[in-house]
Structure 1
Amino acid sequence: STGKLLDKYLLPVDQGTRALSSITVGKGGQVFAADGMRNEIYTVEGKSLKLVVANPKLTSIRGLAVSDDGNTLYFADYALGVFGADLNSGTGFPLAHDPTHLVLGGIEGLYWYQGCLVAIENGMSPKRVVRLHLSKDGKSVVRMMPLDVANPAFGLPTYGAVVGDDLYYIANSQKGLYGQYGDLKDKDKLQAVRIFRSNMHFAWAEGGIRAGMSLPVREATPQEAAAARAKPSTPEPPKPAQPDKKGD
């Protein structure tokens, strides 16, 4: 509360580049941080950082979120979508959804809210903030509700913070104007930072867009199959027009 530094936690020193690019704190105070360069996720344990997620197939870990019970860590891969890690069993899973109804790529920020995930998608068009309602087991998306979409002020919405029912987030990140070591490339292009607020409880009782796994195709009854076979597969071509008596 005084702002005094209590402790610091260092990653192992070895060859190669590291960058702790994302961080989240669970309801019980457990801290997780992602190395966006090596696609690894660490947690603070004792006086050190402990590796909890590492998969060479991941491409770019961005947002992190922890369920209220502290059992599941969710994270967004910018190219591959959203995944979960069962912290009790140490196993991972992809967040199941119907890709014909819902695109989960291009997610930067990810937040837990009352059994849902709220995602900031800046890698798609239009850029948007969406609420993903999860199944009871937390392993699939059953429906989606847009919260803010295609706002003209969205430059590059990135990360934010949850306060009550609201998500406050940066709407026009200008990280592209800075180099690897924080050196400013072109100060004349800098703009005032815009902080937006989205109500995560918006349209809570409405159904939203169905985003669960596709339902299995029902097998046709014998009567339906016979009726379908009786129909021509292609429509009959139109008959040519008959010329009038003058040959026009």
Structure 2
Amino acid sequence: MAAEAPWRFFDLHVVRAERLSPHMARVTFGADDLGGFVSGGRDQRIKLFFPHPGQEETVVPRSPEDWFGEWRALDPDVRGIMRTYTVRAQRAGEVDIDFALHGDVGPASRWAGAARPGHTVVALGPTLADNGGVEFEPPAGTGSFVIAGDETALPAIGAILDWLPAGGRARVWIEVPEPADRQDLRSAADTEITWVEPGTLIDTIRAADLPADAYCWIAGEAGAVRGLRRHLVNERGYDRSAVEFMGYWRRGAGEEQLLAESLAGQNPHTGED
């Protein structure tokens, strides 16, 4: 018997949409076959494909063997607009995706800001918990965590905190555009969350007292993430293997430019757009 593929396409429809804060919206999706959608939790990433304005449905290939090659071969003005997002939460028959909103900057932000029940997208989602789409993988027995990111990492941070078990201790720093973007994040772990102003994440962590034995996870703007990783490894002495880092976006580069770079050299299942 052939092994089950860890990813496949799901036709999602909006069940409800709500504004969580000035710069964050939560869209809850449903699907007829969502029972086959199996998230690995934590910072589980998926691909979402959005329709172009005027399209009644999203155009994506359905061949599981070479969907990526077939998608790339389609006319960019026709094929579904692909972006990477984090599964914020999953319940029976529903999955939540949180979107950082930047007005009309980017097709995904525009779509999420206008999402209403019945609107549709296509997801390339996991069918197995061990699917290669999770980066937060602390060694067994880890009890101390350092977590940091900007508003684009906030959905992943929330999902990670949901996953952390009782008995662990997490120091968390989150940079958001304004105080109204702060969220009530909860965890079974002993968690200390510090909300910081834009542009102050690295300096705030530089001044902080960090646990020496922590597993570190950082995500957000690529330049800030690289600077923070250098600080943790070169100045704080953390082993490189103990610092997981992801650049979710890059200052001065549009979504389409980053996507083009991703297409040029990254695995479609693991690259961040």
Instruction: Identify whether the pair has TM-score above 0.5, normalized to the shorter chain.
Output: no
Structure (1 or 2) with the larger CA radius of gyration: 1
- Point out the structure with the larger strand share: 1
**Bigger share in helix:** 2
**Greater relative contact order (CA < 8 Å, ≥ 6 in sequence):** 2
